[in-house]
Structure 1
Amino acid sequence: MSWIKALTPVALLALTIPSYGGPTTYPPAPLLVCPSTTKTAFAIGDRLISKWYNATLGQMFDGDFWVDCNTWEDFHNLMLDTHSTRYESLTTGSYLAKAALDPTTDWAAFLGGSNDDSLWAVLSLWKMADYRKWRREDPSAWLNAAATIWDLIAHEWDDTCGGGVWWSTAHTYKNSITNELFLLTSAEGYLRNGNNTYLDFAEKEWDWLYNSGMRNSEGLFNDGLDLATCTNNNQTAWSYNQAVVASGLGALYVATGSKNTTLLEQAQISIDATLKAGSGLIDNGVLRESCDDATLGGSICNHDQQLFKGLFTKHLSYLVSYASTPFPTPQSISIALKYKPFFTAQYTAITHNALNSTDDVGGVWYAPAGGNEAWQPEASAAGLEGVIAAAGYGKC
């Protein structure tokens, strides 16, 4: 077959060797990671810990809870990808882990009614559990906490605007990211525990998202719905919204038997719309949020927005991983090759434009920021995500 002849020896090897060590982690870790790229990832990670992490509190200084959840997920991804124990203390010492290890934790009170933050926490807890399993240790505390949180959010589903979960327990908004995360955690949850309730929610969540109108004519998901009309509110189409739905569809593809390739095609619609020139999210092949401006005195993304580019790269890497599960196919290889230049370009941009001599990462990737970068933990966490994704799926 012509597609086989075009493969490198490593890609041919991937046809016969699964890209993960059994059910140790979801999504499956990359088969191989680039040593030089992971060296950069560890340098950024070490700097994040030394500069921003308060070990007593188990939190990042100047960080937000949802950002911390993603950062802890990133550190565990890096350890699992490289078979390292370098940041093992986060598995028990981080704020979220401490709560998981405390059987008296009131999760509804702990999470404060923020449903999207809650689902980021689920993803983080699962990755901690994966690490514990890899270390042949009991992951049940982390898994139980994640299950409790997911169940809280499942109860946030109602018929307002035809379905979907609420952004918060105040029930004032239904938006893209919360429902995309619910799609992902429902599909991935089914892969982890085989509970059909998760799969049922994943399938009806995608059906609702697909018909919600939140994806615009350009193929991009806007922020959410206008509750008065249950129509697209046409607010900003952030990069991370386009990739989290893609990773959720990748997980649903595997959860439904890795046969419904339409799910992978749908996943690529918003990814490709993001990477299309003129989307407002890409600048010469490098991610650029609407708030990114390399010009001195220009706009600077806020704390939340600084993480979005990293989340796009991370969740696109999750899509590539899920597409190859349980084994590579011509379609999954095509997807991996299609986005490989993108991952490589982000790594080049991060290391050339955003990374300083002390391994901090600024908030602007597309060009040297010239003093307008944001040197904050969210920006470094985004850079870490971009580098980890490139280590597994970019050019070495």
Structure 2
Amino acid sequence: MRAPKFRLWRFLLSCIVWSIPCFQAQAIDLDLQNPDSIKSVARELAWDLVSFYTGNNTGDVPGNLPDPYYWWEAGAFFGTLVNYWAYTGDTTYNNLTAQAILHQIGPNRDFMPANQTRTEGNDDQAFWAFTAMRAAERNFPNPPDDQPSWLALVQAVFNEQAQRWDTKKCGGGLKWQIYTFNSGYTYRNSISNGCFFNLAARLARYTGNATYADWADKVWDWVTTIGLIGPDYHVFDGTSEENNCTDLNHIEWTYNNGVFLLGAAHMWNYTNGGDHWRERINGLLQAQSTFLSTDEASPSVLYEAACEPVSTCQTDQFSFKAYLVRWMADTARLAPFTYDTIMGRLQPTAKAAAAQCVGGKTGTYCGMHWTTGTYDGTIGVGQQMAALEAVQANLVGANAGPLTYNTGASSKGDGAAGTESSDSSRDPSALRTITTSDRVGAAVATVVIAGVVLGVTIFMIS
């Protein structure tokens, strides 16, 4: 890797040579008609993204991001680096990425490491599975023979989550949390169920196994019956089983739309163009109107409608657009009838995102507010990841993925992975004793989340 000092020196030298005032940020020059320009900008943004990672430092844990970033976002972080390699061919971060993923698989090879299991939810586990799935679909270099394959890791997560499908209330669905002692255990949210749907659809297409497709159909039917996906394809945040899932939290987040969109695109492709999946894809794309700017200065640029206009987005929410644009790009490849619509959104979004990348010590750290035309002064993993995904998504036309067994994918799976040990049969000694601080921390987290949701709800209503 290049040393950060070199990049800073290069930035300062450019200020002197070109008479650029160093205290004024210079916008990135992104030419979307030139793949080399896109790759060059992606390289800059990727460098800054990896600067947030500390897991390769002596004494730190590979795969973890420092506070305030939660474990699930670290999984998403490495998914972005797999994507970066697939789009650009740059192998700079491949060893770091492989080390991180394999370090976090846990003793049962299912992305439930002992240091995270205490607070891990279904969606957290799934975001690491997404990274392994992307590695399989993109032919990311396979792990050593003594390690599980990328595909087997995904199948382990899928099989465990299938065992957690709960029909005791609400007629089915996945809970947000895995264990009863975690706050949110009675909440059934779109992202957890959407992740399960997404994985089922991708496994169906990758392997050709109809069992996965049956599960994808089952999840879709459940979320639409409950109303998490409404009749106009708006995807709402979640519902509580305490009321038998009759009350909906109507907040809409970008990644909830995206997680179902990509799953539907895989199912359309798997079914050789099923009309009902085409209708669902088009419906979800139409529902993205919630997240598309109508401002004359930034038409069709994506934004996080539930929190961005009032600057109430939290750490997690800074990253949500990263997954939406990532999944939109894959959808454009899998369902070509969406290509023009999706690129009509990704292109202006990429330009607007790149215009925000003028902060930090290198002058290429990115903010979140893409629609304003003015740098918002923030930096972070979520902002950097989202901008990088928005930029590199514009290379999708020249990208061969997502691959399958029949189109050249090399990751071999294990359909029985994850079935040998259920959550209930895990050795309780592997989990430390729940302490008072755990309970207090969980309660505080719940209050914070509830406050954010209540505030956003009030804002949207008003």
What is the identity, as a one-letter code, of the residue corresponding to 2:396? G
Which residue of structure 2 lines up, in the alignment, with residue 286 of structure 1? 301
1:251 to 266, 272, 278: 266
Structure 1 unaligned segments of length 5 or more: list them: 1-31, 324-331
Q: What residue in structure 2 maps to residue 268 of structure 1? A: 282
| Residue 161 in structure 1 maps to residue 153 in structure 2 | no
1:5 aligned partner: none
Q: Retained in 2: the 8 A contact 1:90–1:97?
A: no
Percentage of pairs with the same residue = 23
- Residues 92, 312 of structure 1: alpha-carbon distance in 2 compared, 3 angstrom cutoff: closer
Q: 1:1-396 to 2 correspondence within 5 Å?
A: 34-56=35-57, 57-58=61-62, 59-62=64-67, 63-94=69-100, 96-100=101-105, 107=112, 109=114, 110-112=116-118, 113-130=120-137, 140-159=148-167, 160-169=169-178, 170=180, 171-216=185-230, 218-227=232-241, 228-256=243-271, 258-275=272-289, 279=290, 282-283=293-294, 284-289=299-304, 290-293=306-309, 299-323=311-335, 332=336, 334-356=337-359, 358-369=363-374, 372-392=376-396
- What CA distance in whole angstroms lies between the structure 2 residues aligned with 1:117 and 1:314? 18
Question: CA deviation digits over 1:132-171, x for unaligned, max 9?
Answer: 6557975843333222222211111122212221111234
Opposite residue 292 of structure 1, the aligned amino acid is: E
Does the CA-based 8 Å contact 1:354-1:363 persist in structure 2?
no
The TM-score, its normalising length taken from structure 1, stands at 0.78
Distance in 1 (alpha carbons) for counterparts of 2:353 and 2:113: 38
2: CA distance, partners of 1:106 / 1:339: 32
Aligned CA-pair RMSD: 2.8
Q: Give the distance between the partners of 2:113 and 2:95, measured in 1 at CA.
A: 25
Q: Which residue of 2 aligns with 1:19?
A: none
TM-score (norm 2): 0.68
Q: 1:246 to 1:230 in 2, by over 3 A?
A: same
Q: Distance in 2 between matches of 1:136 and 1:233?
A: 42
Larger radius of gyration: 2
In the alignment, the residues of structure 1 paired with residue 210 and residue 224 of structure 2 have an alpha-carbon distance, to the nearest angstrom, of 21
Instruction: Give the direction of change, closer, same or farther, for the CA distance of 1:266–1:102 in structure 2 (3 Å limit).
Output: same
Report if the CA contact (8 A) 1:34-1:392 is conserved: no
**C-alpha distance in structure 1 between counterparts of 2:211 and 2:201, whole Å:** 10
Cα displacement string for residues 108-144 of structure 1 (whole angstroms, at most 9, x for unaligned residues): 7444440011111111122334566557975843333
User: Please, which runs of 5 or more residues in structure 2 have no aligned partner?
Assistant: 1-32, 399-462
Cα distance in 1 for partners of 2:210, 2:113 equals: 24
Question: Aligned partners of 1:82 and 1:354: how far apart in 2?
Answer: 19
Query: Residue 64 of structure 1 aligns to which amino acid in structure 2?
Result: Y
Pair 1:335–1:194, CA change in 2 (3 A): closer
Q: Note closer, same or farther for the CA distance 1:152–1:221 as it changes in structure 2 (3 Å cut).
A: same
